[in-house]
Structure 1
């Protein structure tokens, strides 16, 4: 079965351009989302992924209508490939049901992996440079050394419950337990 997917970002936008092209491409069933591409879950895309089967072909008007990012597209394409589903993008003329289309997809996936590796490398270099300058990463502690020592005293004396100590210091019980554990 040839299944089409269209997406427009807002209710004011019209999906007719996409759906007309998908109809012309021979799509037997269409799924249309009215949602931002930035949303992780789009109801009609989720429904489509539930019904698509081995031997089906998913057709989109343009790649950016399907995925939120290069990585998201690669993940979706890998999911389709693992289910034996072909993929066509009309505007980019990409067709994974042909050897050339598979090659284009693999180059696309390699570029996405390269981009992830570069980001990871730059992030690690930035963190190392910050550490070398004495910057400590992470969220600042809500409690100082004096507060932790006092909390430990209160906890050991059993004068207050953990919840009462947490309320007194305006933190969660988990923070109290972590504080006690880290001062031993």
Structure 2
């Protein structure tokens, strides 16, 4: 069964162009989301995945209607492939039910992996360069050493609860417990 999926970004946009193309391609049913492509979970996309069966083919007017990034597209395509469901994009003429379409998909997947590897490599190089300049990563501590000493005193006195100490310093109980552990005697 051919099952169409369409998405428009805002309520003001109309899905007519996409739905007409899906009908012309022979789709028996279609699902339309009115949501940003940046959203990983979309109600109609989720509903479509619930009804897909092996042998079905998901059809979209254009690739960017389905995925928000190359990686997201690859993830969706791998999910479809795992379900035994084919994929067809009308504009890009990609069809994973054919050997050529599978090749194009594999090139897509390789490009997504390459992009992830480049990002990781650049991130690690940037962190290494920052460390070489003396920069230490992470957030700055909210509490100074005098604050930590005061927290230790209050905690040791037993006159106030950890919750009260946290409220006084505007931090979480977890921060108080970490401070206590860091400043423990012995």
TM-score (norm 1): 0.97
The whole-number CA distance in structure 1 between the counterparts of 2:171 and 2:111 is 45
Say whether 1:181 aligns with 2:167: no
For residues 64-94 of structure 1, the C-alpha deviation after alignment (integer angstroms, 9 at most, x for no partner) is 0000000000000000000000000000000
**Root mean square deviation of aligned Cα:** 0.9
Q: Which residue of 2 aligns with 1:148?
A: 148
Q: Which residue of 1 aligns with 2:41?
A: 41
Which sections of structure 2, spanning at least 5 residues, go unmatched?
Answer: none
The whole-number CA distance in structure 2 between the counterparts of 1:24 and 1:99 is 24
Q: Which residue of 1 aligns with 2:61?
A: 61
Q: Cα distance, 1:111 vs. partner?
A: 0.5
How many residue pairs match? The answer is 184
Q: Which residue of 2 aligns with 1:164?
A: 164
Pairs within 5 Å for 1:29-178: 29-178=29-178
The whole-number CA distance in structure 2 between the counterparts of 1:92 and 1:183 is 61
Q: Which residue of 2 aligns with 1:8?
A: 8
Q: Cα distance, 1:183 vs. partner?
A: 2.0
Which sections of structure 1, spanning at least 5 residues, go unmatched?
Answer: none
For residues 99-151 of structure 1, the C-alpha deviation after alignment (integer angstroms, 9 at most, x for no partner) is 11001100110000000000000011001111111111111111112211221
The whole-number CA distance in structure 2 between the counterparts of 1:167 and 1:67 is 44
Q: Cα distance, 1:170 vs. partner?
A: 1.4
